[in-house]
Structure 1
Amino acid sequence: MLTAVFKGHAQFVLFAVIISCIAGAVIFTATRRRNDRPLTWALWGACVTATIALTTWTTAPGDLSASCTVNRDILEPFRHTQGQLNFGMLVPFGLLGTLATRRPGLMVGLSFLFPAAIEATQALAPISRACDTSDLVANGLGALLGTAIGTVIARFRGGTPLARKATRRAFISAGAMACAIGVALYTVADLVIVDRTESNLAATAEQKSAIDARLEDAFGGAYRAQNYSVTSGENDAGTITAIFENGMAELSWPDRRDFTVSMPPADIEAGRAFAVPGAQLRPSDKKKALLIAETYARRFAPWGLKDSKVNISRVDEEEDLGWLVYWRRWDGKVLLPMRLDLRIDSAGRISDLIERNIADPIIPSVQVSKGEAWDVFEKRFSDEIDEDAERGEPILLAQYRDGRWHVDWLLSTRTSLYALEAAIDATDGSFNDPVQVPLRHSNDTNQYMEPVPTSR
């Protein structure tokens, strides 16, 4: 499992092993003269340390927008591989803890307090880890299973239980910690309640073949998928996900319109992104970055260059993180659905790809002016828009909705609290796809920050 999850991160695996062994050795030394089970205590301490390392490990800094997903579907994690792994991960915690303390009651409490502390840390700390009650349920029940097994073994092996005084202190400390976790999550974190999270299903042979073909076309056979899954959505729509050695690909299903690929860029992990054949140079300026992108597009996606306008910008104006290059086609002032987006990392490799290879559709004429569209937008959002609201730049966009192509005015406004977005049909003026995104509050600047723009 370590090879699958932490491939390419051998230094972290080595670090986790070392600190777990150190923790075990320290505990063994501290308990060997005062306890008849020093080795069991040492193994439990090493297990706890390894679990903390595993669940707080990250490759990138996160932000301070604390949130936690509350899943009403309690049994969902047990229907998927990730949930089953989370269940098994804490079985040793419960087993070794029970054999060490000989206090099953204490371990029952810790079986949920320990996973709760982990999820709280993932929610509140800027470590780019997601807090989810599904993980809490899977971890907790796994620890309870370990506790049950440990209780049975302890009955046959005997041994002196942890002193009542120490047990009582542990219960008091655990109760105080549980209260602190609850207060912190309730007051600081945004609790997002869902009926269920994304449902990952096994991909069919047809779905595997479809995403394999797109991966072949995009990189000339450089990568082979090793794992497939399908995320189901509304109206039988979904997304096929394929994991390959260097990254991940996704294909919308069943329309097969949207294809995305993501690989670690050079600033995260050097040498993992795709090296474009015939373009072995570093993108030190806009001209060289465009040359790399065009070399890729001419060979692997020539459909994106025809009658298109190219745009290029830095990923970050202050850091050398590479370039974004993207092609778009227009029908007059209407942005057409075709898109080809590339991220060129600082080493000149393709780390991100977005494709929407769609023939230019026949679109209706524009009957609603920009001003009329804004009137519809502001009337619908009249309760949310305040005097400090700032309008975004409107876009005329061809979009597929209700079985046919429309032309929409894509409008957005930033208020003091929300980013508001909607599509106003440019033919009949109807209001569609309302989005209300709370702006993240920055403690450092005491200002509200822009959310990540919606991708269409």
Structure 2
Amino acid sequence: MIKASMSAVPDLIVSFLILAALLAAPTALMAKARQKPWPLRTGLAAYLAGIVAVTLLPGSAGLEPGQCDTGIPADVLTSASSLLNIALFAPGACLAVLLFRRPVTVAAAFGCLSGTVELIQSAGHLGRACSLTDVAANAIGAVLGSVVGAIWLYQRQQLPRRLARDLLWGVSLAAVTIVAGAEIFHSRIDSVDVVAMDDQRHNLAESAVEADEWMTTAAKGIYGDDLQVRGTATKKYGDRLKVTMETNRGTISGWWPEKSLESAWSSNTRGDEGSLSQAQVAAAADEFAHKWFPEDVAGSKQRSRAIGDGATRAYVVAYRRYAHGVLLPMRLDLTVTTAGRVIGFTARTVKDPELPSVTIDEAKARHLAQAETGLPTDSTLLLAQRIKGNWRPVWLVGSGKQDIAIDAATGERIGDEG
């Protein structure tokens, strides 16, 4: 609350002087006209002008209108901001107790004033940040000021007026303020936990640094120690970070905190004029895959196929895993030259899902697809697919230009919306 005003001291002083003149001068004149002591009343009026100037002076807080910070920082009552807010309300409450001699009512009234100020900050387009921490600090300041005022009265043998009535009024005002404030905050104000947001930003920044270090290590391991990093892009997906790194040797991307590589492509994708056979290329790919993708390779089947021809041909070495004949969602494809150089890879690291038993065999799946389309079937594939959030064994049956998806556990056709 106060920090936003301290950055605009000249405007604060001018605003205070104007408000003080508008409040204190009439208060003094009215007190004199009623033959009442005017210094204390005038001082309280000037102090209230100061509270208004400090709390409602336009600023540049980060929250939008209609929002309020409900986060509780670790230094909730010991931070400089909280101590300033306590000090802001304590003297005013003390002056009010000396004037009205009703400490309980004064404490409740100043607490109500604090809540009203925060609501105005939230609802108004003032660029000020509503904060429940400020309300708590102001309320503590009001109580401390009221206690000091009550002690001063006691020492001067000026007992509070009608203590029972003061207690009743004060407790009633505090109860009404709490209930009404809670209802307004709940129905009209959006809660924003700035403390949690700050913690998330801090954790994200730390994670981004750690992810960048991990990706740099992986890139050097794949492309060589003389690699030069040209740039890193980090994007947040829920609790995960996708890191993409550009280097002088190529690109590489992966996921943090899983430390799971997703893809990499060398800037030099031209095949090498090597002498390795297809079996030797597959062995080189296997060594690379076991080093960088041990979880994906475990239990997988390897297949390779040539791309291109001649001396610069390369091979795509694919790894797939099956469970009871069902192709699982894990994927790993390496592109390797005849010199054993991995020029690129794409990986999909997914934990093997638990699937219901397959009850529909290939022949039954073909029959169901043909009955559905009236066309002869020409291909089938049994794989795991996520259907409405659940993994299912699915037959993909090709029927001319139309593919039919059939649940291999129930025999039901899976629509496009699945």
Question: TM-score per shorter chain, which class?
Answer: 0.3 to 0.5
Q: Which has the higher helix share?
A: 2
Give me the TM-score of the superposition, normalised by structure 2. 0.46
Give me the TM-score of the superposition, normalised by structure 1. 0.42
**Which structure's CA Rg is the greater one?**
2
